[in-house]
Structure 1
């Protein structure tokens, strides 16, 4: 991987005596090829067309970022109480920022329209089946999505946040947003959509197309129409209209025996209750 990169890693995380997973992350960052997924990463990167030098550098940056992320997470909790400020500090990981600069061109979509989603990875798969490209289906995203990397997901989640921000800046046309659950504090609503608003101000071709998604008892994902029926496609031009359709369907038509949408229904009910609405 290069002695300079290893030396840089040792200098930056020296003295962080975190046990367990963080200690393992430091060992892997200092000697990247000892990580159990190195061979898989290298082979997958080669298969999607990455040059070997990019693969080597990206792997060092991923593992260096994971090793440093623990300290940033601790700092975020100690320094900030506001959720978004905590998220921003976690995402300030310079290893992940350098990773984006390295692989940014490999976040371009291979289909006409970009997709964003919230509500579980099944929603990403559904968006892909509709002909759109979520981050996980880009050349680089598809590789990283197949790897565990670390047992502590809080060490790698900020990497996805950094990648997603870079991903949405590459929007060139309509962006389809699939909602199976609505959370104003989610990365989608708090980070990705605001970033898209900036892109939209510069490029009128970029517009947001919203899809409220409901999972039926047999596991099929369907979209909620304005008449609160389930269809293969139902689009809305604004977030509020989309969220209203989703909430109304869950409130009025959700089958309590449908465990596949139980979480979305519970989250909707809790959010309405927190806003002073009756059950």
Structure 2
């Protein structure tokens, strides 16, 4: 068993007791190493503030008290992440969640939709997080995958031989954690991690759609980022796949002649979305509950543009 070491810093200790499987306690020294002096200043300011609603701020002050701390450690170690990186990454996750409420409040006061989204994803804790764990977002397959329409679409992309964010080492860890029940706090973290993931594209990118949502992270953030990357690297090409869920839950892709096939790749978003919309309008069985969500999402989108379908 290794010795226990405690270093005091502004009243906070860091204990290391690996041999006994005890989790390290974060302190200001660890936080400074992970995110610099500005993060330490915010940490000290938070300690002096009165308690607020929600537990995110409490956990940022005492990270190892979070119920998923041990699970995070185990999964990160299984992913091959060094212990000191695990410690710092957890501090950055919880510190970011604690500050995200304020960042969101600032974003709401901005006028443009994209401007609000960009500001919500400007949380420096999360950007420090991807700097720390960026190498653990690497893909093992030749091609990167993006998707929209539910986790089953991500699984479909993986089965086809492409790597979505959730199948990277760090993405898999985040995907298995709850961390906070407040999605408004968690979504910006995923947005930042997604940007870091997309920035790794160096070749073909396969994009899978079960339903087209013009307000999705895929459409508003990921694809525009890929367009910028394409200007610098012509090897980055986009391949679009319209996906339909059959009554038995299996996913197939929609061909140009509206047949369900194993693989249907389109060179543009518009061709892909047109095939998906046409299939849902003309072929979809309203008795197929598995495909009904996509049908209704499509109908709502068309109705919003003056083309009601029901």
How does 1:67-82 map onto structure 2 within 5 Å?
67-77=98-108, 79-82=109-112
Q: What's the counterpart of residue 280 of structure 2? A: 250
Q: What's the counterpart of residue 228 of structure 1? A: 258
Of structures 1 and 2, the one with the larger relative CO (CA 8 A, separation 6+) is 1
Q: Quick one: structure 1 residues 124 and 197, their matched pair in 2 at CA, closer, same or farther if it must change by over 3 Å?
A: same
Assess if the C-alpha contact under 8 Å between 1:9 and 1:29 holds in 2.
no
How does 1:49-88 map onto structure 2 within 5 Å?
49-77=80-108, 79-88=109-118
Q: Secondary structure at the match of 2:219?
A: helix
Assess if the C-alpha contact under 8 Å between 2:101 and 2:185 holds in 1.
yes
CA distance in 2, matches of 1:164, 1:16: 34
Q: Deviations over 1:163-205 (max 9, x none)?
A: 1111111001100000001111110011000000111111111
RMSD: 1.4
Gaps of 5+ in 2: 1-25, 32-38
Q: Which entry has the higher C-alpha Rg, 1 or 2?
A: 2
Q: What's the counterpart of residue 10 of structure 1? A: 43
CA distance in 1, matches of 2:28, 2:219: 41
1:105 Cα deviation from its structure 2 partner: 1.2
Assess if the C-alpha contact under 8 Å between 1:179 and 1:213 holds in 2.
yes
CA distance in 2, matches of 1:87, 1:95: 16
Q: Quick one: structure 1 residues 64 and 260, their matched pair in 2 at CA, closer, same or farther if it must change by over 3 Å?
A: same
Structure 1 length normalisation: TM-score? 0.95
Structure 1 segments of 4+ aligned residues over 3 angstroms from their partners: 6-9, 11-18
Gaps of 5+ in 1: none
Q: Quick one: structure 1 residues 46 and 30, their matched pair in 2 at CA, closer, same or farther if it must change by over 3 Å?
A: same
Q: How many residues align?
A: 275
CA distance in 2, matches of 1:106, 1:217: 37
Assess if the C-alpha contact under 8 Å between 1:9 and 1:30 holds in 2.
no
Matched, 1:150 2:192: no
Q: What's the counterpart of residue 129 of structure 1? A: 159
Matched, 1:111 2:111: no
Q: What's the counterpart of residue 261 of structure 1? A: 291
